[in-house]
């Protein structure tokens, strides 16, 4: 395996939460009960109130403090919205002037807020946050209460640098979701995608789950595409048209990139296609598509590129591509033309027991597993455009998640889906604005939002495992 060294990424790509120190705030002992049952949240969203965060610093503090506070609020609020657990009470419904009461309840706190004022408007969860700054140091006191029982759910003080305000907000959001559901939040997770730079060149970028802080990890000045994550979130695999000096030609080779060291490794460079990779759960192998002068087939390869096992055998010109391994490593979903048109199939990890899962539409592609292995999401082409569909892992209960039109009235393309780490959202790309941008939709298709707002085009986005 050949090694190439690039400039290492900042450590925040791997463990951003290290930039924030959290400690229990001075507050009553938090209740450890389960407040939201994840399975029921889709049927009934809880009412949450998030009043403006209070600045507790000196009136003479710089405008930067107010800017930091606004970003803290906006990032946290966006995290809560995309969690799909909550509906939010509008500020004009508040019965208290939140700027004149404290973060803790009366009568224990002098000038504290009154639970009855929030109970009367149906609030289930109340979030109160105050912050102050000392130079570049940011201190955030965050509290979350369960109003019906007048109980503190979470009370913590977060200390960080002001430049890490987004990490602080995401960390608080993760902590609150964990306290409410006993499930880990995904707000410190990342997205990797291929993005245009200088057309037709594409490079690989890593960014926060909400599209912020994009960082370029390849500088190949060619077409880099189809990135994917290792299961520990430390490595990215991707393909690129690399120049082969001895043959004076470019070939679609497969690379891995270590986020902590910036080292790039050439894993597979057989003539033809070396692409569409997927890490096995044990992190020791990759599934990929190799053509090597023939029809594309799916192979299993050791990370050092030396051990290669063929899984599918194409017949009569068919193609077997886009492998995606189930979280438990027992199944592989893939796209194939073995039935004529490209459709979604599933097989055992050794290539046995192949079953066709989709039969409708003209073209079905890019299958991806949910984190619990119970569902698959894919892109389906019909009536001249792609849309995103989700189905059970056996091909039943198929649901369309997307349908959007461009400004000219024609249907937009929605492609390349991937599940969020908690399985409650799906990331995809869409050309509804004229350029392929990134979007997130809830797994029931009810809540859709755009997360990139630029002039670039994105391809094959993939959501990372949760970074804690």
**Structure confidence by residue, pLDDT tens digits, 113-165:** 999 999 999 999 999 999 999 989 999 999 999 999 999 999 999 999 999 99
In a shared domain, residues 50 and 147: yes
| Range scoring the smallest mean pLDDT among 51-60, 78-87, 179-188, 340-349 | 51-60
Q: What is the pTM of this model?
A: 0.93
| Domain membership of residue 129 as a residue range | 10-181
> How many CA atoms lie within 13 Å of 296's alpha carbon, on the beta-carbon side?
20
The DSSP line for 37-84 is -HHHHTTSPEEEE-PPPEE-S-TT--HHHHHHHHHHHHHHHHHHHHTT
Which strands form 355-356's sheet, in the order they lie side by side? 320-325, 331-336, 343-348, 355-356
In a shared domain, residues 74 and 168: yes
Domain final residue, candidates 153, 181, 209 = 181
For 260-280, the pLDDT digits (tens) are 999 999 999 999 999 999 999
In a shared domain, residues 443 and 380: yes
pLDDT at residue 249 in the model = 93
Neighbours of 156 (CB within 10 A): 20
In a shared domain, residues 215 and 364: yes
pLDDT at residue 63 in the model = 79
Q: Residues 6 or more apart from 443 whose CB is under 8 A from it?
A: 375, 390, 401, 419, 423, 424, 425, 426
Q: Is residue 468 part of a domain?
A: no
In a shared domain, residues 366 and 408: yes
In a shared domain, residues 152 and 249: no
In a shared domain, residues 194 and 101: no
Structure tokens at 106: 């009366």
Q: What is the mean pLDDT of residues 222-236?
A: 97
Structure tokens at 349: 């990890």
For 349-447, strand residue ranges (E) read 355-356, 363-369, 375-382, 385-392, 399-400, 414-419, 425-430, 437-442
Domain final residue, candidates 133, 148, 181 = 181
- The domain total for the chain is 2
For 397-406, the pLDDT digits (tens) are 999 999 999 9
Domain final residue, candidates 157, 181, 205 = 181
CATH number at residue 61: 3.40.50.10070
pLDDT at residue 275 in the model = 97
pLDDT at residue 58 in the model = 78
In a shared domain, residues 409 and 384: yes
Mean pLDDT of the chain: 92
């Amino acid at each position: 395996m050949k090694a190439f060294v690039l400039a290492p990424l900042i450590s925040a790509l791997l463990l951003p939460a290290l930039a924030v120190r959290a400690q229990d705030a001075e507050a009553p002992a938090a209740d450890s009960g389960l407040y939201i049952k994840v399975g029921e949240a889709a049927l009934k969203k809880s009412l949450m109130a998030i009043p403006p965060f209070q600045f507790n610093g000196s009136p003479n503090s710089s405008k930067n403090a107010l800017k930091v506070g606004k970003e803290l609020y906006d990032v946290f609020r966006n995290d809560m919205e995309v969690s799909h657990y909550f509906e939010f009470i509008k500020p004009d419904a508040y019965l208290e002037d939140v700027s004149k009461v404290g973060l803790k309840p009366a009568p224990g706190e002098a000038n504290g807020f009154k639970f009855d004022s929030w109970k009367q408007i149906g609030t289930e969860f109340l979030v109160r946050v105050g912050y102050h700054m000392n130079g570049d140091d940011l201190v955030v006191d965050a509290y979350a209460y369960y109003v019906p029982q007048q109980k503190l759910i979470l009370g913590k003080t977060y200390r960080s640098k002001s430049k890490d305000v987004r990490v602080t907000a995401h960390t608080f959001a993760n902590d609150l979701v964990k306290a409410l559901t006993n499930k880990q939040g995904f707000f410190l997770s990342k997205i990797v995608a291929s993005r245009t730079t200088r057309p037709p060149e594409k490079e690989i970028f890593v960014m926060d789950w909400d599209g912020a802080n994009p960082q370029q990890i390849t500088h190949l000045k060619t077409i880099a595409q189809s990135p994917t994550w290792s299961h520990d979130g430390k490595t990215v695999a991707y393909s690129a048209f690399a120049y082969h000096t001895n043959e004076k030609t470019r070939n679609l080779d497969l690379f891995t990139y270590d986020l902590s060291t910036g080292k790039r490794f050439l894993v597979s460079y057989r003539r033809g296609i070396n692409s569409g990779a997927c890490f096995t759960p044990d992190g020791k192998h990759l599934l990929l598509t190799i053509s090597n002068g023939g029809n594309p087939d799916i192979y299993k390869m050791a990370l050092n590129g030396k051990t290669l096992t063929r899984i599918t055998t194409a017949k009569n010109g068919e193609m077997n591509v886009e492998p995606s391994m189930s979280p438990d490593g027992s199944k592989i979903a893939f796209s194939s033309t073995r039935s004529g048109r490209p459709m979604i199939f599933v097989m055992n990890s050794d290539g046995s027991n192949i079953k066709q899962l989709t039969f409708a539409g003209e073209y079905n592609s890019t299958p991806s597993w949910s984190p619990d292995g119970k569902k698959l999401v894919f892109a389906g082409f019909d009536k001249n455009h792609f849309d995103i569909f989700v189905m059970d892992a056996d091909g039943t209960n198929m649901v369309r998640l997307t349908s959007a039109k461009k400004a000219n009235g024609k249907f937009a393309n929605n492609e390349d889906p991937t599940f969020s780490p908690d399985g409650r959202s799906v990331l995809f790309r869409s050309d509804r604005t004229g350029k392929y941008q990134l979007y997130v939709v809830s797994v029931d298709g009810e809540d859709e939002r755009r997360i990139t707002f630029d002039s670039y085009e994105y391809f094959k986005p993939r959501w990372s495992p949760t970074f804690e």
